[in-house]
Chains A and B, each alone.
Chain A
Amino acid sequence: MIDVMLKGLPFLWQGLLVTLQASAIVVVLALVAGVILGVGLSYGSHWIAWPIRLFSDFVRGLPLLVLIFSIFYMLPLTGWKVSNFWSAIAALALFETAHVSEVARGALQSIHPGQNEAGKAIGLTFGQRMLYVVFPQALRRFLPPWINTVVDTVKGSSLLALVGIVDLMLSIQQVIGRTFKPMPLYVLGALMYFAINYTLSQISRRLEARFAYVRE
């Protein structure tokens, strides 16, 4: 079994790279968009918060696979030429953005309203209050659940294989197609996914410890 794994490994590197790359792109997109939407949810007027709420609830209510296929088949109808890769990335990014926006909302709303008032009272603008007063405090509450969304992204990226992107998942299946030895290769794949995500949760634990400076 071990020798099948070792022989298969070289064929999986390229796929692993695609998985990491796709995950990284999605994580960055979802972080930026999700935090912006989370701020809108927390501090926006009704007219800003309501559409975000709708988007977030809707997207979070869909199975990721449905979202990936919907976008994959819908985008061509709009006449927009997008590669499989980017269409799948868009779907995964939308999905994670919705989740990150909820994580950000939770973290932001945990900050006492008096903090914002104190910031207003010394003349800070909204952006400055976010940057210097609210975000630094919210970070501690944001990080742990956010890392969970990163882990979800890596796991969710395995569905990219279904629209023909040769990521780690599809590489494994390709090797299986040639060796007819599914068991060792799926075990190998599981170990590789686990290695990525375990690393992430370790980093998360380190970061949590670092931000344990404020009162509870």
Chain B
Amino acid sequence: MSGNDAVPLVRVRGLTKSFGSNQVLKGIDLDVVKGQVVSVIGASGSGKTTLLRCVNLLETYDGGSIQVDGVEVGYDDANGRRRPRGERELAHIRADIGMVFQLFNLFPHLTARDNVVLGLRKVRRMDRAAARELAEQWLVRVGLGDKLDSLPIELSGGQQQRVGIARAVAMNPKVLLLDEITSALDPELVGEVLTVVRELADDGMTMILVTHEMSFARDVSSRVVFMDAGRVAVEGPPREVFGAQTHERLRTFLARIELKRL
């Protein structure tokens, strides 16, 4: 970890974003170094999901900058003027940023295998056989080797989410964004999904995850970011953040989460 530290893979500076008159991001700075897992926690409405969605421009941002591997995501700053990127450029950038969704968002008309194959064929331009093979490899890795030909409707929530993860990582993204990926799951299905994420972390996948699973965040993260009212309130290694009893809002937040579990 020498040269990599100098230029973070994901570099967010002064990010601002409003929905109408409601400013949800009030100047966010965030660095994610290659191989790091950064967990973003915070109450709902704190802006954490919006921050994540800005990174692959599912939301546009108003001010500041997001760079992934040195490339500004949302805008082309060519002649000192901000120009929104065109559809093709954007698709090209997004192909290298994986995302897993809270509600899975699998393509319901395609089998598990074809959900993964689509991006490999149409974006990565792999030939049919190679795409199918890679898709199968990933589905086997997430424990769905026997569900290759199942339609999403035939799968449980946990299985669907694992297909969602396979679909994202098969593209070999530089960074993986995970947006509350266990929030829509029955409690007994959370574990199987988190196990897959933990394995990816062990393999060195760079990840930003928005989560309410505090113990998971503590275990898997290199760094934890606590967001409050559109700002980064506390940031640091998990032990420090979860032990930061000095920060009032963080303490209340953690206490409330703790209460919910009892």
Contact = CB atoms under 8 A, between A and B. Distances in A.
Interface of A: 112, 114-115, 117-118, 120-126, 128, 132-133, 136-137, 213-215
Interface range on chain B (Cβ under 8 Å from partner): 20 to 34
Interface string B43-78: 000000000000010100000000000000000000
8 residue pairs, one from A and one from B, having the closest CB atoms? A123-B95, A122-B119, A118-B105, A121-B99, A114-B105, A123-B123, A125-B91, A215-B153
A48 to B, nearest CB: 14
Interface of B: 56, 58, 87-88, 90-92, 94-99, 101, 103, 105-109, 118-119, 122-123, 151, 153, 167-168, 171
Contacts of B87: 125-126
B10 to A, nearest CB: 15
Contacts of A124: 91, 118-119, 122-123
A117 B58 contact: yes
A118 B108 contact: no
Contacts of A112: 105
Given A121-B94, A122-B95, A123-B94, A115 B107 contact: yes
Contacts of B167: 118, 122
Contacts of A123: 91-92, 94-96, 119, 123, 171
A122 B118 contact: yes
A136 B151 CA distance: 14
A215 B108 contact: yes
Contacts of B90: 120
B176 to A, nearest CB: 10
B166 to A, nearest CB: 11
A115 B107 CA distance: 7
18 contacts: A118-B105, A118-B167, A121-B94, A122-B98, A122-B118, A123-B91, A123-B92, A123-B95, A124-B119, A124-B123, A125-B87, A125-B88, A126-B87, A128-B91, A128-B123, A136-B109, A137-B107, A215-B153
A47 B94 CA distance: 26
A109 to B, nearest CB: 16
B98 A118 contact: no
Nearest to B108: A214
Which of B58, B87, B105 is the most central at the interface, judged by chain A CB atoms within 10 Å of its CB?
B105
Contacts of B103: 114
A123 B107 CA distance: 14
Contacts of B153: 214-215
A132 B106 contact: no
A119 to B, nearest CB: 8
B91 A213 contact: no
B118 A117 contact: no
A132 B118 contact: yes
A108 B96 CA distance: 27
A136 to B, nearest CB: 5
A117 B101 contact: yes
A213 B111 CA distance: 11
B105 A115 contact: yes
Nearest to A127: B87
Contacts of A136: 109
